[in-house]
Structures are given as C-alpha cells and as structure tokens.
Chains A and B, each alone.
Chain A
Amino acid sequence: MIRIPIERYRLDNGMEIVLSREDAAPVVALNIWYGVGSRNERAGRTGFAHLFEHMMFQGSKHVPEMGHFALIEKAGGSLNGSTWLDRTNYFETLPANYLELGLWLESDRLGWLLPAMTQEKLDNQRDVVKNERRWRVDNQPYGDWDERIQALMYPPDHPYHHSVIGSMEDLDAASLEDVEQFFRTYYAPNNAVLTLCGDFDPTQARELIAQYFGQLPRGPDIPPIPGRTRLEPVMGGEVRELVHQDVSLPRVYVTYRIPPFGGAEYYTALVTSYILGYGKAALLYRSLVREQQVAQDVVAYAFPIVVGASMLVTWATARPGRSAADVERAFTEQIERLRDVDDADVQRAVNLLATERLNELQRLDERADQLSMYTQLFDEPERINTEVDRIRAVTPQHVRDFAARYLGTDNRAVLTYVPREVGA
C-alpha cells in the first residue's frame, strides 16, 4: 500500500512545515492552512473569514493587485483558496522550477498584506462575495439548506451555528478596520502549516522556506474559539423546519449529531455514510431509488468538523407524485435497519472507502492539503498513512452500536422543502 514520506519541523516563529517528496512528475504543490474559519467569527460579522480570504488575493506590499493570479498563470500553475468552518487554506500547483515564486507570493501576503489594503478593494470584493452568495445560495434550488441545517443543529452560541458564506447584512457591515484586526489576530506564522509536496530538493526547500518565512515575526497567541464549544453527545430531541420554495420536487434533509472528526466513532460514521449512500448497492439507493422508487436521488456523508460535534448529513429528493412524508418514512426505515446491518454491507463500504482514499492521494495537491489538515487539526501529519487502517478497523458491530446510539429520532434535525403553491 501507499506510504507517503513525511519530513516535519517547526520554524522559530512557530510555523509548522511539512515536506513530502515525490518526483514522478516535475510539479510541486504548495499548501497553507491557517487555523481560522467561520467558527472564529464574532456576532455581526458572519462571513468575514471568507471575505478576508478574498482580500488575500488583492495584492500585498511587493505584489501588485492581480499580481498573484497573473504570476502563477504565467508560470503555468493553478491556484485558489477556500474557507471552511475550522480553517482557511491557500494552495498552488506549479512547475517544479517555480517553487520559489510560490514561496515568495505566500510569504508576502502573510508578512505584508496590510500596506496594500484599500477601501476600494474591500468594496469590490464585498460585491464579489455578495454575488458568490447569490450564485451559491439565493439563486439555487435548496441553496440555503446548509445555513438552515447549521442553525437547527447547533445552538445560537455555538461557533457552527452560522454558515461560512454569512449574511448579506453582515457582509455590508464589514469595515477596513475589521480586515486589519482579523489579519493581526489570525494570520500569523504560529497559526499556519505550510506543506510542500512533489518534486523539490529538500535542502534547498528548507533554505528557501527559512528565507521567505523564517524572518516573519511570531504573532500574539490565538484567541480561543468564541461561544460554547462543548456539546452533549446527542441532541436529546428532534428539531424540524418546513420551507416553501420555488422547487419542482420536495426534498428532505436529515442530519444527525455525531462525534467530531478524528476519533474512532467518526470513522464508524464515515463507513455508515457509505453503507447508506455511496453507489448503487448502498442501502438508501437500493431501497428508496431502485425498489420503492420513492426518491429521485439520495446522498449521505459525514462532515469532517472538530468543535464539539460533527454531523452525518443525508438528503433525498422525492419522485414526482411522492411526498416528503413518503420519503422520510422510507428513509427512517432504512436507518433502523442499520441496527442489524449485514456484514457484507459493511465490508463493501470499507473497500470502497479504502480505494477512494488511495485514489485521492494520486494528486499532489490533495496530498498537500491532507498533510496540512492532519497537522493543523491533530498535530499529526502521519495520519495520512494510517487513515485507511482507521477505516479498516470499523466492524459491523461498531456500526450497529453506532446506529443505536446516534441515529435515533432523538438526535436529528429534519429540514423539508416543498414546492411553493402556485399563486401563493
């Protein structure tokens, strides 16, 4: 099986470095995780971590506006960044001889973002993000499901209560001072993991990293995550919401509170999600889509987040002529069957997951992102090589116990969309 080589060390300023050499192709992937996401936002500024991610592409002291994109495109590279509940990441894949370019660009915005900030840039990117929200959420069928589900699943004082994209009102309220304060609080070497994967000379890479990142000053300690971060293992009841929307078919979202990403029970949840929803032999597909033909599609997955609790997310869209209640009834029946799941169904899910994990690791950018993730979240990059063992350790009995403990009606949120009445 695969064994990804890992060299790990820490700079004096607290920045974590992970190097993983693989010279099959003359390509190098750079990846940085900052330990900040929507969970760190304060009330009235939801969506700020993500808006800030956009500002990181607007140039820094030595890099002109659009320069970051232009220089990487000119090198034949690809780049992007993304914001999630627990983190923000930035990444580029470059021809191997452009490694130094990537390090220069990433270090310049970590060291010198603020001198290049202007109100005009903020206003422009605020407009872009508001359009991103319209595109992803407001102008999409069922597009607001995740913010509704997060609000149902987590109490108002929990950091996962609000969505990553935030509200239009909060985006309007964001100021240049917020940008400055956010940068000084969270964008520090001691809150970052830098990973390099691919074709590079390790000695030269260490030298370049020292030159570009080693001289940046350590920042203040990272403030604790605001609000309530502990949660009861199960919700103790069912919460429901019914939404009338311009959609052709009803859809039901059912989510359960599960233990956070990282522990053994999370991997049981992951295997369970595959038993339920992955591929045409999966329980929900087999029953709801193929046999009963009550649903048009089914989806199930575990949500890898770490503060207090994670979620097992599922949804199914009703077939024309079938109601949301029909779908929910059929769904709940299959969930109950998990308490007595067949060994073969568990084996199938484990095999699928193992192949999929191995396949993902063919890509350098994926390797780099996972190494940053395991370092940032668990201080353990080596988990990239033991992940499949964690999956293989899940037994049918684990799944049965897990289903009995977590997948009951006392531990879930049900969000139902139904077509708006014509003329209403």
Chain B
Amino acid sequence: MTPIDRSRVPPAGPPPRVTLPHIEQRALSNGLTLLVVEMRELPVVDVALVTRSGAHADLSDVAGRAHLAADLLDEGTTSRSALQIAEEADLLGAALHARATWDDTEVGMHVLTPRFARAMDLLIDVALHPAYAEAEVERKRKERLAAILQEQDEPRVVASNEFARVVYGDAHPYGSPIGGTARSVSALDRGALAAFHEARQRPGNAFLVVVGDVVADEVVRALEPVLGAWQDAPVPEVDVPTAGPPGSTTIHVVDRPGAPQSELRIGHIGPPRGAPDYFALLVLNTIFGGAFTSRLNSRLREEKGFTYGAGSAFAFRRDGGPFVASSAVFTGASAEAVGIVLHEMQRIREERVSDEELDRAKSYLALGLPRRLETTADILRIVSEQELHGLGDRYYDEYVERVRAVSREDVLEAAQRRFDPAHATVVVAGDHAEIAGPLEALGVGPVVKAASRAETELNRTGT
C-alpha cells in the first residue's frame, strides 16, 4: 500500500461537468406558461402552480390576507369538502401543500408517477375552485389568531417581527408579519379572502412547473382540456408605499424579563432580487455572515463563545427586503456582540476582503451548485425562482461564471453601497434590566424600550 503524506491537503480530481436540466417551455391556449423538466431516474413528480401574488400585495390593514387565503385553498372546494381533500391526497400518497410567500402563492405536491394524473385533478381543483366556506374560514382564522398568540412566546419570532416593524413601519407590507397581526387577522373575513383569490388567481398571472418522471408533450396534452379553459382577466396593481429613509442607529429593546439569552437583529432595508450587483452581494454576504467560517460566526462563536451561531442574509424579494444579521447571545454578552456586528459592518466597507476569503466564498457558492440540484423538489425551486423573478432561462447556466467574476473591488463597492451601519436598526429581545445599561454605554445610539405587544396592538387599533 502506498503510504500517504497526511501533512498536505489532498488534491482535487478533475472537476466534473455540471449539466443543468433542460427546461421545456410551453403555453396553453389561455396563455398559461408551462415549464417542464424531464427527470426520469425515479418514478416521482414534483409540481407547483405558482401565482405571482403573495403577501407583498397585503397593505398593513389586511396583513395576513394572502397567507390565510392560501392556507384555506385545501380546506374545501366547490365540489370537495376539506376532509375529502385530505383523505384523497393521503390515499394517493400525494403530499399536497398550499402556501403564500411575500412574492407568490403556490399550490404544489410531490407524488409517485402512476398517480400523477389523479393527483393533478385534485391540485387543480384546490388551486382554482376553493369554496372559502364560512365555517372553514372562521376555524382557520381562529387557528391563526392562536398561532399569533403563540408567537409571542418565541424570542426569535418576537425579535424578527419587531425588527421588520421598526425598519419598514406600519404602512409597508414588509412591516407586518407575513401571517398578519392579531388586529389585522381579526378583521379578515370570507369576502376579503375570496376576493383576493378571485382577482389574482389568473392564468396570465401564473405559471405551472412540472419536474420529474414525465414527458413534456404528454403533460401539455393532458392539461390543455382542464387548465386551458381557465379564464384570464387583468390583475389589479398594488400601490405599495415607499418605506421612509432610515434614521440614525437606534437600539430597540423588547423586554423579556429573566431571558438567559438575547436575540439580536441588526440591519436595514436591502436591495430587491433584481439588483444588478446581486452576485457581488452573494459573495459579500457569504464572507460577512453567510457561511460557518464567515466573519460573524468566527468572531461571535469560535473566538468569543458568545453564541451557538451567528449569521446574516439579504432577504431577496420583489421589493427591497431586509438585510439582517442575527444571533442569540448569552445575556451578559449582548452589548459587546452588538458592537462587534456594527464594527464588522463598518470594517468590510473600509478594507478589501482578503484573497483567501474571496476565493473561499466564491468556491463555496460556485462549487456548491450541484449539491443544490439533487432532487426533483430542488429543480422545481430553481425553475420557479427563475420564472418568478424574470431571471432569464440562462440564469443557472451562467451562475458559476458570474460568481467567479466577482472581484475584491466588487465586494468592497457592494459593501459601501449596501451596508449602512450608521443607519442600522438594532433590535434586542432580552432582559431589559440587565442589558439596557451596557447597550447605552456602547454609545452607538439611543436605547428605547419597545412597546409591549398589548400596547402595540392598542396603538394600531387607534390609527
């Protein structure tokens, strides 16, 4: 046996060729776009009907509308009861889901090929003919209100919700939780949900993605008689207000008396998904807080031992979603950790990142692509993202090249353009009595105690 030299990193073999699956693009007679990817290895199919309307269309007084409207899709149609839908899906072994994100509403499922046709009938019925029966609406609405109550117990959710509210304000859809507030959900009724669905669920505002053990021509032939008859109509525009310019850094403390840890959320409004410097931002964030060896995790976890983990992300949405750095640190480390995050935001704007960091981040993103494209559900996700955000059908073919092209200067410019520590919002959900003093002593901005949940609801009722 050849002895090996353990002291060197083993060389990599020749890089494999990554072939991205071919997307067949078709259209039905009513204009509905069909995107089909044939993957024939396993007898499974993933499918989703995606509508380009999500919680982004919910201005504050109807926060939670898209979420609840989607949640009710599989709770009864004009020809099937809620229980019939659940039983039929289970007997077909079809995992059916309906959900809204900020940007879309999706009805999807995973099913074995032999049952695809029957399961598709069910999916179409759920997506196009929901009954929004009074009793079901009332039941789901109460369930959501109880879930909102439960969220108060979760420090992570409390911190994230407060961060969004402070950054975007009450008027912008992104300022409320995607599932709504106690006040907004209390006011939602059958009419509001049915109207939302009726106005937006239209073939011109939707597309269908099918990935798996299917043949594109057969899918089109089978769906034309059912989905082709679905009538189109113009979809109303939503006039989303612009979020106001940020003030100087303020630290908002949500009091959690006795909490052993503080949940930190630090950041501001970021760019939309379509930003031209998207790839530079991916690399920037990977270095800053988007990987285990990122600066934030290295400093807060591996160097200081303050936390189990720290990270950051740009929430890329149709409008500018938040850029946020997050961590949960033990109570005594709260102020120092906030100082470190703000310092790192400033430092990456001033000094170019090292070649080693740049190389690691780019390789992480570029070489990691095949790992993200393993299953039919993975492929469905990227095809859907490409179509939803109009990224072009060559987007993933060019992904590796565009990541590789990012330079140290690009990262520096992206940081200078997109990071704004002087106007960052800081939210800390933790023990006010323990942390307010040290946070004040940081000297980065005033410390204000956030209104309690009850007070916030009261104020909103008054507006």
Contacts and interface: CB of A to CB of B under 8 A. Distances in A.
Interface of A: 1-2, 24-27, 61-62, 65-66, 69-71, 73-78, 93-101, 103-104, 108, 112, 123-132, 134-135, 138-141, 199, 210-212, 214-215, 246-249, 279-281, 286, 289-290, 293, 296, 317, 319-320, 344, 347-348, 351-352, 354-356, 358-359, 362-364
- Give the dominant DSSP class at B's interface: mixed
Contacts of B43: 1
A75 B363 contact: yes
B178 to A, nearest CB: 18
B139 A293 contact: yes
A131 B330 contact: yes
18 contacts: A25-B370, A66-B293, A69-B293, A77-B368, A78-B371, A93-B371, A97-B13, A104-B10, A131-B261, A139-B155, A249-B149, A249-B150, A279-B89, A281-B83, A290-B139, A319-B142, A344-B91, A354-B93
Interface in B203-236: none
A248 B1 contact: no
A80 B18 CA distance: 24
B328 A139 contact: yes
Contacts of B90: 279, 281, 348, 351-352
B373 to A, nearest CB: 7
B354 interface: no
A124 B302 contact: yes
A1 to B, nearest CB: 8
Given A66-B302, A75-B367, A362-B374, 12 more contacts: A69-B292, A70-B293, A70-B360, A73-B292, A76-B370, A76-B371, A129-B308, A131-B306, A135-B328, A138-B260, A319-B146, A348-B90
Contacts of B368: 76-78
Nearest to B94: A355
A199 B13 CA distance: 13
Interface string B1-36: 110101101111111111000000000000000000
Contact of B146 (A24, A26, A139, A296): A296
Interface residues of B, number: 80
A97 B330 contact: no
Given A97-B13, A134-B330, A354-B93, A211 B307 contact: no
B371 A355 contact: no
B153 A101 contact: no
The residue in B1, B17, B146, B302 that gathers the most chain A C-beta atoms within 10 A of its C-beta is B146
Interface in B69-119: 74, 82-83, 85-87, 89-95, 110-112
B154 A100 contact: no
A318 B152 CA distance: 15
A128 B259 contact: no
B194 interface: no
A248 B2 contact: no
Given A139-B155, A141-B154, A248-B150, A128 B371 contact: no
A248 B149 contact: yes
B318 interface: no
Contacts of B363: 73-76
A95 B150 contact: no
A421 to B, nearest CB: 15
B292 A131 contact: no
A71 to B, nearest CB: 6
Nearest to B143: A296
Contacts of B407: none
A296 B141 CA distance: 12
B13 A100 contact: yes
Contact of A131 (B85, B147, B329): B329
Contact of B15 (A25, A27, A95, A355): A95
B376 interface: yes
B83 A74 contact: no
Contact of B91 (A112, A123, A351, A362): A351
B305 interface: yes
A128 B305 contact: yes
A61 B5 CA distance: 13
